[in-house]
A and B are shown apart, each in its own frame.
Chain A
Amino acid sequence: MNHASIISIQHMTKRFPVGKGEFTALNDINLEFGEGEFAGLVGPSGSGKTTLLNIIGSLDTPSEGTATVMGQDISTLSHKASALLRNQHIGFIFQSYNLLPVYTVFENVEFALLLQNRSASERKKAVLDALEWVGLTDKMTSKPAMLSGGEGQRVAIARAMVKRPKILLADEPSANLDAQNSHQILKTMKALNRELKTTFIFSTHDEKVMQYLDRIISLEDGKVVSDVEKAAAAL
Chain B
Amino acid sequence: MISFLLKGILRDRSRSVLPIVVIAIGVFLTVLLSTWMKGIFSDAIDMNANFTTGHVKVMTKAYAENAAQRPNDLALIGVEELISTLEADYPDMEWVQRINFGGLIDVPDANGETKAQGPAFGQAVDLLSPNTKEPERMNMEKSLQQGRIPNAPGEALLSEDFAKKLHVNLNDEVLLFGSTMDGGMAFKNFKVVGTLSFGSTVLDRGAIIVDLADAQQALDMEDAAAEVLGYFGDNVYHDKKALEMTAAFNAKHADPEDEYAPTMQRLKEQGLLMSMIDMSENMRSILVSVFILMMSIVLWNTGLLGGLRRYAEFGLRLALGEEKKHIYKTMIYEAILIGIIGSIVGTALGISVAFYLQENGIDFSSLMKSSSMMMPQVYRSIVTPDAFVIGFIPGVFSMVLGTALSGIGIYKRQTAQLFKELEV
Contacts and interface: CB of A to CB of B under 8 A. Distances in A.
Interface stretch (A100-108, A192-200, A204-212, A219-227): A100-108
Contact of A86 (B8, B15, B320, B324): B320
Contact of B319 (A59, A80, A95): A59
Nearest to A100: B313
Contacts of B12: 101-102
* Residue from A79, A86, A102, A115 with most neighbouring chain B CB atoms (10 Å): A102
Contacts of A86: 319-321
Interface in A145-204: 171-172
B7 A102 contact: yes
A99 to B, nearest CB: 9
Interface in A87-111: 87-88, 90, 92, 94-96, 98, 100-103, 107, 110-111
Nearest to A57: B319
B416 A60 contact: yes
Given A50-B419, A54-B419, A98-B316, 7 more contacts: A54-B418, A80-B323, A85-B321, A92-B319, A95-B423, A100-B313, A115-B326
Contacts of A100: 8, 313, 316
Given A96-B424, A102-B8, A59 B416 contact: yes
A96 B323 contact: no
A102 B322 CA distance: 19
7 contacts: A84-B321, A87-B322, A95-B422, A103-B7, A107-B7, A110-B4, A114-B4
A202 to B, nearest CB: 13
Contact of A59 (B8, B15, B418, B423): B418
Contacts of B419: 50, 53-54, 59, 94, 171
B1 interface: yes
Contacts of A107: 4, 7
B413 to A, nearest CB: 11
The bracket for how many chain A residues form the interface is: 20 to 34
A31 interface: no
Given A59-B416, A59-B419, A96-B423, A90 B321 contact: yes
Contact of B415 (A53, A60, A94): A60
Given A107-B7, A114-B1, A50 B420 contact: yes
Nearest to A84: B321
A201 to B, nearest CB: 13
Could you say which of A92, A101, A112 has the most chain B C-beta atoms within 10 Å of its C-beta?
A: A92
B424 A59 contact: no
Interface of B: 1, 4, 7-8, 11-12, 15, 312-313, 315-324, 326, 415-416, 418-420, 422-424
A112 B4 contact: no
B4 A87 contact: no
Contacts of A88: 321
Interface of A: 50, 53-54, 57, 59-60, 79-80, 82-88, 90, 92, 94-96, 98, 100-103, 107, 110-112, 114-115, 171-172
B415 A111 contact: no
Nearest to B14: A102
Give the 6 A-B residue pairs with the shortest CB-CB distance, closest first: A87-B321, A86-B321, A60-B416, A102-B11, A59-B415, A102-B12
B323 A94 contact: no
Contacts of A54: 415-416, 418-419
B316 A83 contact: no
Nearest to B9: A102
Contacts of A102: 7-8, 11-12, 15
Max chain A C-beta neighbours (<10 A), residue from B1, B315, B423 = B423
Nearest to A94: B422
A114 B3 CA distance: 11
Contacts of A50: 419-420
Nearest to B411: A79
A155 to B, nearest CB: 13
Contact of A115 (B15, B313, B322, B420): B322
A172 B419 CA distance: 10
Contacts of B11: 102-103
Given A85-B321, A87-B321, A115-B322, A98 B416 contact: no
